[in-house]
Amino acid sequence: MTEPLLHVRDLKTYFVTEHGGGTARAVDGVSFDVYPGETLGLVGESGCGKTVTSLSILRLIPEPPGHIRPGSFIEFEGRNLLTLAPKELRAIRGNRIAMIFQEPMTSLNPVFTVGDQIAEAAIVHQRLSRRAARARAVEMLTLVGIPDPQERVDHYPHQMSGGMRQRVMIAMALICRPQLLIADEPTTALDVTIQAQILELLDRLQRELGMAVMLITHDLGVVAGSADRVVVMYAGQVVEQAPTRELFARPLHPYTEGLLASVPRLDTRVSQVRGRLHSIPGQVPAATAWPAGCRFHPRCPYAWDRCATEEPPPLDTPGSEPGTHTVRCWLLTEPQRRERRA
C-alpha cells in the first residue's frame, strides 16, 4: 500500500474558554490518513471539530486561547508539522498544502486586485518576477474557468459574484501546485447550481493536477458525490471512517446511521415523502462537557449501561481489512443488540 501523504495521529486541540467556562476539547484524539491523489471527506455537524482539525494541520489555531496538546502528531511528506520552525512551516503553507475557505467574500482582500492576490503565493514561494507571476495568475484564471481572464485579472473581489470569487480562491490555492488541498465547506455559501459548478471544477482540477483533497463539509450529498473515503466526526472525535460506498451502504455508527436517515432526499419515492423525517433526539453537547463514556450515548437509540461509563476505541468492522472501516461503538462487540432494536 502507498504511504500516506498526511498522517494525523491522536490530534488534540483544546481551547481555554473565557470566564472560567473550562477547557473546550474541540478536537480530542483524532487520527486519520490522507493518501496521494485521493479525496477524503471529513463530515460532521457544527461544533464537531472538523474545521479545528483542518486549521490544526496548518497550525492556524490562534494561541492563546487554543493550543495543540503534546503527544499530537501531524506528519506531512515525512515531517512532523507540529515541530517545524515557523520558517519551514511557511514554506509548506500555501505551497505544498493549500486551503480554501467557506466564505469567498471575506477570504479575499477587498483592496487588492484578484490578480495580485493570486500571484502573491507564486512570488513568495517560487520567486517569480511580478510579470511572470501575473502571467501565471492569468493562466490560473483560465484553468478555473473564469471568462476573459486577461481582463478579470485586474478586477477587485467586489466586482465578482460569489461563484467567481470561489474560483479565484481556488486559483490562489492551486498556483503553487500543492500536493494537498484542504477545502473547508467550499460550496456551503453558494447556490445549488453554482455549487455544482465548483464541485465539478474541483473534480477536474484534482484529476488534472493529481493532488489530494481533504473536503470538509456538513453535506452528506456532497461527500457521496466527491469523496473516495469518509471520516465522520462527532464531539471532537472520529466516530467512523470507511470507503465512501461502504459507509453509505453500511453505516455502522448509530450517529452516522441517524445522520444519513435525517437528510431530506430527492431520490425517495413520493409515497414515502410526506412521512416524518428521521431525527436524532437532543443536540450536540458542549465541547467543555463531553458526556462520559461514549460521547453519543445520550442521543443513541441503542445505548446500554456500558456506553455511559466506558469510552469505545475505534474498532475494526468484521470482514474488512484492519484500519479501513473503523467505528467507535460498542455495538461492534455485541451486534445482536442492533438487531434486537430493529
Partner 1 sequence: MTLPAPLVQVEGLVKRFPGARSLLGLGRVRRIVRAVDGVSFAIAAGQTLGLVGESGCGKTTVGRTILRLIEPDAGRVTLDGADVLGLGARELRALRRRMQIVFQDPYGSLNPRMTVQQTLAEPLAIHRLAARPEAERRISSLLEEVGLDPAFARAYPHELSGGQRQRVGIARALSVEPQFLVLDEPVSALDVSVQAQVLNLLAELQRKRRLTYLFIAHDLAVVKHIADHVAVMYLGKIVERAPATVLYAGPRHPYTTSLLSAVPVPDPKAQRQRIVLQGDVPSPATPPPGCPFHPRCPHPKKSSRCGIEPPALREVAPGQFAACHFAEAPM
Residues that bind partner 1 (CB under 8 A): 45-46, 161, 163-164, 191-197, 199-200, 218-225, 244-245, 248-249, 258-260, 262-268, 270, 273-274, 276-281, 283-284
Q: Nearest distance from residue 276's CB to partner 1, in Å?
A: 5
For residues 47 and 28, what is the distance between their CA atoms, to the nearest angstrom? 12
- Of 126 and 188, the one with the shorter C-beta distance to partner 1 is 188
Closer to partner 1 by Cβ: residue 57 or 189: 189
CB-wise, 87 or 276, nearer to partner 1? 276
CB of 3 to partner 1, least distance (A): 26
CA distance 60 to 131: 31
Angle between helices 130-143 and 162-174 (to 10 degrees): 130
Question: Minimum CB separation from partner 1 for residue 201, in Å?
Answer: 9
Nearest distance in Å: CB 283, partner 1: 5
The DSSP element (H or E) to which 90 belongs, if any, is helix 86-92
For partner 1, the closer of residues 70 and 275 by Cβ is 275
* DSSP assignment string, 250-310: S--SHHHHHHHHHS--SSS-HHHHTSPPP--SS-PPPTTSPPSSSTTGGG-TT--HHHHHS
Q: Of 193 and 336, which CB lies nearer to partner 1 in the complex structure?
A: 193
- Which neighbouring-strand residues pair with 28? 12
Residue type present at position 326: T
**Minimum separation from the CB atom of position 319 to partner 1 (A):** 19
